Structure 1
């Protein structure tokens, strides 16, 4: 307590501890336990009141006639929670055998029942001389504190207090009035108002269950701080503190029991509670976060947590596999200690894949050895396909995305990366936010594995630093509606050439992902986006190296054809955007929207020292028959430093080309080009001059159409000055056009009613806009 605040209970609360003086009569003093019905000294031949003893004034004179001669006050002395009482008496021998003497007391519980097993006697003192005044004392209290003689815990509610004479019989003694004093202040701190758990029965020996004592101390705190002093306190049950807690000792408890610190809910407090075991403290704090409605966020307190193994986040909260309320973990740093716990598990196994069952592998050999969350590699497997779940009895694996060309039986490789925070054990976890946290992977491990299901996962103002394999992995649809804002992804592979890098910043499978204002450095890919309706806004990713004319890899990989995505205001540095359909179980076109509804606008594209065939926007169909059915590329800046490139857009025909005849709703205009040999646009306006009168004008796009696509539509023909017949007269008529002319279908023919010559502005499109 604060100095000056704690006072004696007799003063502050009017509690009467002191028994009456002997001169008030001996009927309140018993030769038994002091309980109702026990014999009193009022009519005893062995006891008398002496009114004028030279040392004591009034005194009780006793003749010791029993082996243990008891003296007990028959009134009930109250024992209050957290209260310590000192019992004192002065005694002297007058004659006969010299006895021993000790303070003694009988503990009573609720309903007046005796409490067995509790100590009832204090230290014994032997009388060694006649007439010598000897003082005896003992302290009674609830907690095992230094100086407490009779430790009674919380169950004792009152006492019958007195003393015992022991040793040989026949001696005569005189006893001064017995005094009882509240000495609780002796056991309290001078500086703080605290409630000590030992005062409520906590033992702190690492064996006794102190759960009830912790709860009792908290219940009695009433605004004061609870102190857990030095010791090891075993809590066999869950404990919730509604008061602030200060830990000097440490707590041990089963994994499934919860320690909820509602008034100081932060990681430093849990570290104090669990004896500086940071990893365990974080797990228990996260467990409380998902089991206590009183807090929506866990403050890591700016601590750097050293982690020796992946943290299974669901195992830390064993009572929950489903949670969908907003929770935040913020303000700290995870670092890892190197060791075998971070080693990637690699398993090979034969399995069958059938496109008719696109997200399942069947007849999987040794399926029990394949971990959930493992990356799948094999022929016809796209990037970032993971094991979502397994059924050992059925020998099947659920996978995160279809395979584009893996029909039949083959041997697959499964790589299970290790993550600092692994949420894969949850069935469904939504609205989880990580804020202002750095994940220092140190090239040893990956950072975050998302849950297989859940929406609204958010990462903001975080650093993912030097991940070995992945920054954030989604092995299911726990990325639905994911928000990643103002984060930095810093690769461990910066010294390597672009083509040698293997790490990936993040991947997604579900829809509605937002990546905004992030920065990613030197990954193989910044993001592999498998869902639709994504917003990629204001990011800067760069993937260059120091080699001359070195190939570059995609920074952003889009694997959904009907994309419905927006890529706006990004800085695309020494990389490109790749749009393909590698997560399509039927990669050939089959009555679908095909490559549609993607907007790429207002971005800055920059690359240096790249080969001339490098492109910033690459369409990669994994099967035949696909086409562009909704693409807007506007307001971008395309710049090359060094040798110019041929063009900024291309089609990767490694598997198939596009059906240029079916292009629709494509706008590619108002972009800026520097050091690009063939700037492109659609619609594009071509200036054509016919020097001599001709009835058929052949207008060539000369590589100005995006993707070297076909000239499908002429939007407008406008004469630039008068058109003249062969005789020099002005012609006022209009032509019709024939599209897709020439060997590359990139020409149009204007056919006039009569041969004419002159100049016309011809606007051509690669698509049918209607």
Structure 2
């Protein structure tokens, strides 16, 4: 590039032969004295070495020579000022190229280097060539870097030393030498050409912005160095980083053309910091809906506070996605779990609040709450330090009064809990490699439709995905794998949980979870659990098993369908009812469990696949469908597939309604549960009353409260062998468990009948 050629700009000053009235003995500005008739300078028309030249008698401390014309200084343009000089008589002086920097309004720009290197003249008549380069950028070889404030210069010489020296100066040349600084690829715009310093201290924000504006389709080049950006910087051009940038936490680098993690890593030189800055840009109008990690692995040595990375946002509601990469947790004490204890009071009438909390300031938001009456996955959603109160994500039961609580703060690889709400946020095709040191993701306390798709949550220490509030509303977990760090432990020794949710409308679809304490603890209604495979067994003979799915809430209109439920069970409970006794409402109702594969091996005979665990008296089944499932156990048999856990309370079988338990298959299951239940009864000796036993096959301890039909499948005979055509009436709820019916005939008869009984009237 040469501006004299491409743009027709004239840099060369006139020859001395054209007159000395444009050559100043001052700084070159208008009104300064010239060498025309000054007595200290004269034109010499025929010097042996120079031809025409200017002869100067040094009479000032610094004898100046400046061209009074304004030589323009353009961004990205570098000028070389050159002069040949020789001493004629008097003391031998030093000579250097010098200039005066002019800015807007023809004002002097102070603080700049306005002299080149000095050359000592060593002999009379010896010609010395004096040069210096001036330009906007602070680059190697530039003697006078003037930045963007200087618009032009008055250039010439300074003669220094003792007065009385006589020096002759050949015509001064000013030429464009920008091509010396150009890289091989001329499509690059160097930020140094626009004043960037790269010393890690000077704020280079304006230089970056100016380079971007000048690029006009070319790439911006950031050469080696450390560039401090003290302001928000948005670059619409593609950027090549050889140097790195540093910024305050609350300042943003918005790379709109090459918005991807590798570019940010190159820019910041640190993977975790680069991810934070890229996420910051993603939530601040970088004109991209997603951040592509481009398959990069991010080494992480401490929890990433996602809200702290974006300090200007406390909530966000526009769809954003992070995809295609891996987070790799490195060993560090920053992952160590913190535990706090504190006394607090609980009133079931205010079920989401702990009051009079001692040392509430020490208790972290997002900590797991433990204590008497505290159910599973109860977390600190928020706190009010002034009032000494903690808001919980869900109520607790049987905890009225004051007690000591334990608060366990797990450390998460990605922690969104600092946001008040996060809407429509997704992560796709990412592996969260927790390495048994960290938990995976902690959600914001509010928001909806968080999405995790085609991801691996590998070896989380305590939790895979944790919801501490309602940020799980409508959460979608699709095609993910949850791989436990406790796989080698026996079932009773495991404590990790793949995920939990508190709000409604969660969709868990086509996921795989391996050997957690629980796969999912779901506290909301209307959930869809479809096509997942979760298995939790061990090799202990007659071993115990934990729940794979924990469904919390009496009215729970969730569908659990087409899953492979392997060496674990589905537990339905109301452990989050602050006042658990049934008073009104639907009680346990509306759930459907259909077309699943239930499998177990080496389990105790009392193991069951579907367990209801009531808290409080008076609860009953008021709508449950269990159809089309395959129940199988290997290496032994189990008694039955359904069970009521009466650790805290039982169900009232006298109130069961709308229960369908049908069209299932059973292998190595002793009692094959059904409702309606079809029983074949054979009466060998004639009797007027036949007691037909359900054999315990009515679901969940149900009673024989209804009878749909009694059909004779053989001849009914009297005690003398005569065939009778008679119909009985049915007495329901017979026997100690009230799970039998009694058929009353008009006379003593024998024979065989099929009875269809059920738990509802």
Question: Into which bin does the TM-score normalised by the smaller protein fall?
Answer: over 0.9
Counterpart position of 2:195? 201
Which one is further off, 667-676 or 192-201? Answer: 192-201
Q: Distance in 2 between matches of 1:524 and 1:438?
A: 21
Where 1:325 maps in the other structure, the secondary structure is coil
Matched, 1:610 2:603: yes
Q: 1:91-111, CA deviations, whole angstroms, 9 ceiling, x for partnerless residues?
A: 233444443322121111111
Q: Distance in 2 between matches of 1:423 and 1:67?
A: 68
Which one is further off, 293-302 or 480-489? Answer: 293-302
Report how far residue 176 of structure 1 moved. 2.3
Matched, 1:588 2:581: yes
Alignment partner for residue 489 of structure 1, among 482, 493, 497? 482
Matched, 1:329 2:322: yes
Which one is further off, 699-708 or 461-470? Answer: 699-708
Q: 1:462-519, CA deviations, whole angstroms, 9 ceiling, x for partnerless residues?
A: 1111112111111111111111111111111122111111111111111111111111
Q: Distance in 1 between matches of 2:697 and 2:163?
A: 124
Q: Distance in 1 between matches of 2:206 and 2:279?
A: 23
Counterpart position of 2:543? 550
Matched, 1:534 2:524: no
Report how far residue 278 of structure 1 moved. 2.2
Q: Distance in 2 between matches of 1:693 and 1:13?
A: 121
Q: Distance in 1 between matches of 2:431 and 2:274?
A: 18
Q: Distance in 2 between matches of 1:715 and 1:31?
A: 121
Report how far residue 192 of structure 1 moved. 5.7
Q: 1:586-634, CA deviations, whole angstroms, 9 ceiling, x for partnerless residues?
A: 1111201111111111110100011111100001101111111111111
Counterpart position of 2:179? 185
Counterpart position of 1:708? 701
Report how far residue 258 of structure 1 moved. 1.3
Alignment partner for residue 411 of structure 1, among 404, 419, 427? 404
Report how far residue 124 of structure 1 moved. 1.9
Counterpart position of 1:219? 213
Which one is further off, 242-251 or 605-614? Answer: 242-251
Alignment partner for residue 154 of structure 2, among 143, 154, 160? 160
Counterpart position of 2:590? 597
Where 2:21 maps in the other structure, the secondary structure is helix
Matched, 1:27 2:12: no
Counterpart position of 2:735? 742
Where 2:587 maps in the other structure, the secondary structure is coil
Where 1:403 maps in the other structure, the secondary structure is coil
Counterpart position of 1:4? none
Matches within 5 A, 1:270-289: 270-275=264-269, 277-289=270-282
Contact kept in structure 1, 2:549 and 2:569, CA below 8 Å: yes
Which one is further off, 499-508 or 66-75? Answer: 66-75
Report how far residue 406 of structure 1 moved. 0.9
Report how far residue 318 of structure 1 moved. 1.4
Report how far residue 417 of structure 1 moved. 0.9
Q: Distance in 2 between matches of 1:554 and 1:247?
A: 52
Matched, 1:655 2:640: no
Matches within 5 A, 1:73-84: 73-84=67-78
Report how far residue 161 of structure 1 moved. 1.6
Q: Distance in 1 between matches of 2:93 and 2:535?
A: 93
Q: Distance in 1 between matches of 2:701 and 2:491?
A: 27
Q: Distance in 1 between matches of 2:30 and 2:664?
A: 101
Q: Distance in 2 between matches of 1:684 and 1:13?
A: 97
CA distance 1:44–1:192, change in 2 (3 Å): closer
Where 1:439 maps in the other structure, the secondary structure is strand
Where 1:455 maps in the other structure, the secondary structure is coil
Q: Distance in 1 between matches of 2:620 and 2:692?
A: 24
Counterpart position of 1:118? 112
Alignment partner for residue 433 of structure 1, among 426, 435, 438? 426
Counterpart position of 2:659? 666
Q: 1:97-130, CA deviations, whole angstroms, 9 ceiling, x for partnerless residues?
A: 4433221211111111111222222122233333
Report how far residue 210 of structure 1 moved. 1.8
Q: Distance in 1 between matches of 2:723 and 2:72?
A: 122
Which one is further off, 696-705 or 388-397? Answer: 696-705
Counterpart position of 2:385? 392
Report how far residue 672 of structure 1 moved. 0.8
Gaps of 5+ in 1: 1-6
Report how far residue 704 of structure 1 moved. 2.6
Q: Distance in 2 between matches of 1:402 and 1:555?
A: 22
Q: Distance in 1 between matches of 2:124 and 2:360?
A: 90
Report how far residue 26 of structure 1 moved. 2.9
Matches within 5 A, 1:250-261: 250-261=244-255
Counterpart position of 1:455? 448
Report how far residue 40 of structure 1 moved. 3.2
Where 1:282 maps in the other structure, the secondary structure is helix
Q: 1:128-161, CA deviations, whole angstroms, 9 ceiling, x for partnerless residues?
A: 3333222111100112211111111110011112
Gaps of 5+ in 2: none
Matched, 1:305 2:298: yes
Report how far residue 750 of structure 1 moved. 4.2
CA distance 1:137–1:378, change in 2 (3 Å): same
Matched, 1:237 2:228: no
Instruction: Give the superposed CA RMSD.
Output: 2.2
Which one is further off, 449-458 or 752-761? Answer: 752-761
Q: Distance in 2 between matches of 1:369 and 1:74?
A: 71
Matched, 1:686 2:679: yes
Paired residues in the alignment total: 761
Q: Distance in 1 between matches of 2:264 and 2:504?
A: 37
Report how far residue 561 of structure 1 moved. 1.2
Contact kept in structure 1, 2:254 and 2:286, CA below 8 Å: no
Which one is further off, 746-755 or 439-448? Answer: 746-755
Where 1:62 maps in the other structure, the secondary structure is strand
Matched, 1:131 2:125: yes
Contact kept in structure 1, 2:136 and 2:193, CA below 8 Å: yes
Report how far residue 733 of structure 1 moved. 6.9
Counterpart position of 1:3? none
Counterpart position of 1:635? 628
Alignment partner for residue 70 of structure 1, among 60, 64, 69? 64
Q: Distance in 1 between matches of 2:644 and 2:161?
A: 107
Report how far residue 315 of structure 1 moved. 1.4
Q: Distance in 1 between matches of 2:713 and 2:285?
A: 76
Q: Distance in 2 between matches of 1:563 and 1:320?
A: 35
Matches within 5 A, 1:468-487: 468-487=461-480
Q: 1:394-433, CA deviations, whole angstroms, 9 ceiling, x for partnerless residues?
A: 1111111111111111111111111111111111112221
Alignment partner for residue 518 of structure 1, among 497, 511, 527? 511
Alignment partner for residue 413 of structure 2, among 379, 395, 420? 420
Where 1:88 maps in the other structure, the secondary structure is strand
Where 2:123 maps in the other structure, the secondary structure is coil
